[in-house]
Chains A and B, each alone.
Chain A
């Protein structure tokens, strides 16, 4: 049996959670011994090549590509983990949820004080994913098995969680890793 496969994705996130994962410093060498990365920005594999044990999801779903990508992860991973507040509850991008979509686009591409946009239109075209009516937390679109809160979750939290999961041991996070004030 080969090493367990791990896939990761950053949906409507800032890549901060991925950076936090890289923050495990030299443990990254151990990580490579422990797992093999499949679809992930870490190795730039764009499509699943085989079924994965764990999928780490950063960010919520703001557009159709996010939603589609997340559903793809659900189909291809045994366990999905929401990593960070955006994946868990939409986070900062979800601040637009109370504002109608048209108004958001208007403000962002036409009316903002620093905008230069001679076309007078919001960007549009088949290569640009359509926005969803609001930013959805991942769990509203697919079943998420675990949630790791934090903005971002500390490197050590990610490491402990991953190791516990892959070695089938109970996760025992010290208080410092789950306190956020």
Chain B
């Protein structure tokens, strides 16, 4: 693709204009530029900056922050191999080698003809069909190394990643607008999320009562946030409603980046209408007219399908100006005061930290995905300064059922402190990895039995930021008061090296830390170094206590949820699998640190000076 400077100027002016030359739409602008030109070059950054009237550094900081954006020219096809721990255990390394061999480049490079770029990327939400890769926006699942050659030749011949879809997946994955080989793998449907639902019915019900009544209902149902933290949804709505301001916003967090989580993928594929309806009800309840679905970049393959669902809802009078479902659905609804509400989709671009609500808001505003300092909380001052409520995809789906079936019906399900069901995404060493909607209070061993997991040594509950659970705790319950999870459950059998898993998780957090605060940016690196010292047999008994105290510091002193949970892999494995560490460390009597390697430390110097050390005998 050759672009003259004049073309570039015009194309970029057009892209910016399509987004209203609006600084807050910078994410969309740079994503479009990246898609069109394969990079956001220095020149493009300058042009964008002048079109939307910001300093170039503001544009550059966005480009450098997100994994899917780059200043360097990428190939026409960017192959991103999912480098999650589950994918690694399923053989992603051999996939990378196969592509490296096929393309004649190393991972991280682009072929000389500018056609292919090969990269690794953290969890893309396909752990139930690992190993998986992304080719541009297209997902290819259940890969084996021997398929690499065929994939490359198909791409070379057809120039279209869609041609790789021999047979589309089940359910809406087969919808022409999705047409993806992704499988839903919904092995158990429940009464709440994956259940029968009539579009518009709950909204009609909600609009027939006052916003305060809607919130009272959600409170009475004891609905708590499904993202993992479990904050009472009704209370969050109340705060946002009570906050000062005529305009408010509701954001649906569909940035499920927690490795091992893919339940929102299934919900957005099969029940998007329900989620949008939940957002609309939330908008009505808190008095918002703006809705944003923040969709993670990895799920771009669902975008057109979701856009169409939104268009349909607008057509049916379920979104837009003066929403009144009675127009199409009939009924005795009395005309209330006008309720205007619309939803737009904000695409992410590959950043785990954007799942954190304040970082997500930064991203929606067209900035780096940096978390913000609280207070003010989003409910007071969030998206573009408006009081903002951020809810999880599943939470909003639950709202619809609460309105439809009533708070009492909902509250009758689940366990004492955790009402309703939880959609779980289960992956790893089990026969039937996939999505399960189970009532809260289900025990870990019941889950393992359902998924056909055998010889299980450990379960990572709630993703890397959660808890590594040992076999003697498999009787514990999945609920907010015991084992909380945003949905991710990874199963590890006795053959797995758990410390390697922990080490991978630390690598993940180091990569995904936004770098703003020192405890997280530096602390996680020190934690990983110490852990690797222990894994390599160079650790001392004191290193275990060092890990514990440093882990607590990182937890306590970090600015946002990422750093506050990033030490959990180490802290919870120390708690539940302490002997793994103790078997590797030595007790020290000499006071010499076994991890210091003088031969290695002097290697460069001896080479440069062309002589051996006279102080030490080195190798």
Contacts and interface: CB of A to CB of B under 8 A. Distances in A.
A141 B596 contact: yes
17 contacts: A64-B616, A65-B615, A80-B591, A100-B604, A101-B604, A101-B605, A102-B608, A126-B611, A130-B609, A132-B602, A132-B605, A133-B604, A136-B601, A141-B592, A143-B542, A143-B591, A143-B592
A117 interface: no
Nearest to A73: B591
Interface string B579-619: 00000000010111101101011111110111101111000
B615 A64 contact: yes
A139 interface: yes
Nearest to B608: A102
Task: Give the 9 A-B residue pairs with the shortest CB-CB distance, closest first.
Answer: A130-B605, A132-B601, A143-B591, A74-B591, A64-B615, A101-B604, A141-B596, A131-B605, A68-B615
A142 B595 CA distance: 10
A54 to B, nearest CB: 14
Given A74-B591, A143-B591, A133 B605 contact: yes
Contacts of A143: 542, 588, 591-593
Contacts of A41: none
Interface string A95-126: 00000111001000000000000000010101
Given A65-B615, A105-B608, A139 B593 contact: yes
Interface of B: 542, 588, 590-593, 595-596, 598, 600-606, 608-611, 613-616
Contact of B592 (A74, A124, A130): A74
B591 A142 contact: yes
A130 B613 contact: yes
Nearest to B529: A140
Interface residues of A, number: 27
A71 B604 contact: no
Contact of B606 (A105, A130, A136): A130
A129 B614 CA distance: 8
Given A67-B601, A133-B602, 12 more contacts: A64-B605, A74-B590, A74-B591, A80-B591, A101-B608, A105-B608, A130-B606, A130-B615, A132-B602, A132-B605, A142-B593, A143-B588
A127 to B, nearest CB: 9
Contacts of A65: 615
Interface in A74-105: 74-75, 80, 100-102, 105
A181 to B, nearest CB: 14
Contacts of A122: 608
B613 A136 contact: no
Nearest to A127: B614
B584 to A, nearest CB: 18
B604 A102 contact: yes
A124 to B, nearest CB: 5
Contacts of B616: 64, 68
A154 to B, nearest CB: 24
Given A64-B615, A102-B608, A140 B603 contact: no
B73 to A, nearest CB: 27
Contact of A133 (B603, B610, B611, B614): B603
